[in-house]
Amino acid sequence: MISLSSLSDRLIAVWHERAIVLKAASFAAVGVVNAMVDLGVFSIAYYQFELPIVTANVLAWAVAVTGSYIMNSLTTFARESGRELRLKAYAGFALSQVAGLVANTATVFIASYFMPVLVGKVLAIGASFLVNFSLSHFIVFRKQGR
C-alpha cells in the first residue's frame, strides 16, 4: 500500500515536472518572438543602413537578447525574478545566450560532417535551446537564497 507521504511526494514531483514543461514552452515562445526580432533588426541594419554583416548581426543579437531578457523576466521566470529587471541578471542572461550561440555553432559545425547541414542546424537549434533554458533556469533566474 502506498503511504500518504509517498503519494504526496509523487504529486509534488509531477507538479514540478509540469511547471518545468510550461516554463520551457514559455521560453520557446519568447525565443520565437526574438528570432523574428533578430531577423528584422538584422535585415534593417544590413539592407537599409548598409551595415557590415557582422555589425548588423551583433546589433540584432543585442536587441534580441535584451528583448528576451525583459520578456523572460516578466513571464517565464516572473516568480524567480520578482518581475524586476536587474542589470546583474541581464548580464548573466546575455552571457548565457553567448553560451547558446557557441553551442549552436559547434553543433551545426560538427554535425555537418555526419549529416546534411540543415539537419545539423535543427539539432543546433535544439542544443542552443537546451543550453539557454538550462542556464536561465538554474543560474540566471534561480530563486534567491538557493
DSSP string covering 45-112: IIIIS---HHHHHHHHHHHHHHHHHHHHHHTTTHHHHTT---HHHHHHHHHHHHHHHHHHHHHHHHHT
Given a contact cutoff of 8 angstroms between Cβ atoms, the answer to whether 111 and 79 are in contact is no
How many Cβ atoms sit within 10 Å of the Cβ of residue 121?
Answer: 15
Q: What is the mean pLDDT of the chain?
A: 81
pLDDT at 13: 66
> 88 Cβ partners below 8 Å, 6+ apart?
none
- Residue the block writes with cell 534561480: 142
Q: Does the structure show a pLDDT above 80 at 5? A: no
pLDDT band at residue 8, thresholds of 50, 70 and 90?
Answer: low
How many Cβ atoms sit within 10 Å of the Cβ of residue 16?
Answer: 10
CA 97 – CA 65 distance, rounded (Å): 7
Task: Give pLDDT tens digits for 77-118.
Answer: 888 888 889 999 899 888 878 888 888 788 878 987 899 876
Written as nine digits, the cell of 38 is 533578430
Q: Does the structure show a pLDDT above 90 at 66? A: yes
